[in-house]
Amino acid sequence: MLTIREYKKVQSLEEAWELNQKRANRVIGGMMWMRLGDSNFQTAIDLSGLGLDTIEETEDEFRIGCMVTLRQLETHPGFVSYTQNMCKESLRHIVGVQFRNLATVGGSIYGRYGFSDVLTLLIGLDSYVELYKGGIVPLREFAKGKPDNDILVQIIIKKHPVAMYYEAVRITQTDLPVLTCCGVHDKENGTYTISIGARPSRAVIVPDEKQLLKEKLTTNAIEAYAKYAAEVVPTDSNMRGSREYRSHLVEVLSRRALEQLCEEESKAC
Ligand SMILES: Cc1cc2nc3c(=O)[nH]c(=O)nc-3n(C[C@H](O)[C@H](O)[C@H](O)COP(=O)(O)OP(=O)(O)OC[C@H]3O[C@@H](n4cnc5c(N)ncnc54)[C@H](O)[C@@H]3O)c2cc1C
């Protein structure tokens, strides 16, 4: 059971940060994950009065406030169009619409959950987190770190001309995923990025040390990269799947993502 002694709707980020320095206090997002825990908090720090529940789109970037809900992200016309519906594809399996109306992007990213579709999607893009004290940090770096007492203010996504692909494997609809995969083709600099999550650990970018994706994508290069991905992405077993099954999925989903991206760009490939 979750027990909270006091509730504070803060008036500023400074107030939130000061309260959050006490170990017994906790920032609350949508509380959808937190409420499942068996914890005892002194003060719940509510950021909902700080206007951090909007998605701002400019020519160069998206700024997604930490209190933006997953449903807002999933239905934002600009973000849906930018990701070619892949934000919808990645989020639609998360429990249900009512749930996604409450769960926040800030809580999802701050939590750095191993199973996270949200992290797998965003880490593949040119994305950053803005921390109140820690400043702007690439999401790829933030995702590797340990939770601390800072406040995640917003997520910034720099716009590039991209093509995207997203796929998650689930045993049943709305369950946590067995494996997640996001592919991004940055048409500006010609790079391909594959992120894999639910390994079951946190999402990672598959490195391209052999430079297989640098040249024009060929069937052989895709095959070789997918096999290489299965070798280098660490996987493990849990109740949803074995290590071997997950590594097999890494290969299949990486290949499929690259094939789809290549098909999109068929004239260029
Ligand atoms: C039953 C269930 C099924 C789920 N299935 C999936 C799934 O399939 N795929 C998926 O991607 N996700 C899934 N999730 C996770 C969900 O999408 C959210 O990521 C999760 O609920 C956290 O978001 P929240 O707003 O509820 O955060 P909360 O539970 O309120 O907070 C989570 C953590 O983040 C901290 N926090 C929140 N906001 C901030 C902030 N601004 N600054 C600093 N710290 C902060 C809190 O202190 C807490 O430690 C599932 C969750 C549940 C409960």
pLDDT of residue 264: 80
Neighbour count for residue 78 (Cβ, 10 Å): 13
Q: How confident is the model at residue 211 (pLDDT cuts 50, 70, 90)?
A: confident
> Could you tell me the distance, in angstroms and rounded to a whole number, from the CA of residue 83 to the centre of ligand 1?
22
**Mind listing the pLDDT tens digit for each residue in 69-105?**
999 999 999 999 999 999 999 999 999 999 999 999 9
> Would the pTM of this model clear 0.85, i.e. be above it?
yes
**Mind listing the pLDDT tens digit for each residue in 116-151?**
999 999 999 999 999 999 999 999 999 999 989 999
For atom 41 of ligand 1, the residue with the nearest CA is 152
Q: How confident is the model at residue 193 (pLDDT cuts 50, 70, 90)?
A: very high
Question: Nearest-CA neighbor of 121 among 175, 85, 72, 77?
Answer: 85
Q: Please name the amino acid found at residue 140.
A: R
Q: How confident is the model at residue 267 (pLDDT cuts 50, 70, 90)?
A: low
Q: Is the pLDDT of residue 174 over 60?
A: yes
Q: How confident is the model at residue 37 (pLDDT cuts 50, 70, 90)?
A: confident
The response to whether residue 176 sits with its C-beta less than 6 Å from ligand 1 reads yes
What is the Cα–Cα distance from 182 to 244, expressed in whole angstroms?
A: 20
Q: Starting from the edge strand earliest in sequence, which strands make up the sheet with 26-28, in order?
A: 3-9, 40-46, 26-28
What is the Cα–Cα distance from 94 to 256, expressed in whole angstroms?
A: 22
The response to whether residue 36 sits with its C-beta less than 6 Å from ligand 1 reads yes
Atom of ligand 1 nearest to the CA of 104: 25
Q: Is the pLDDT of residue 57 over 90?
A: yes
pLDDT of residue 95: 97
> Could you tell me the distance, in angstroms and rounded to a whole number, from the CA of residue 106 to the centre of ligand 1?
8
The response to whether residue 128 sits with its C-beta less than 6 Å from ligand 1 reads no
Q: To the nearest whole number, what is the mean pLDDT of the chain?
A: 95
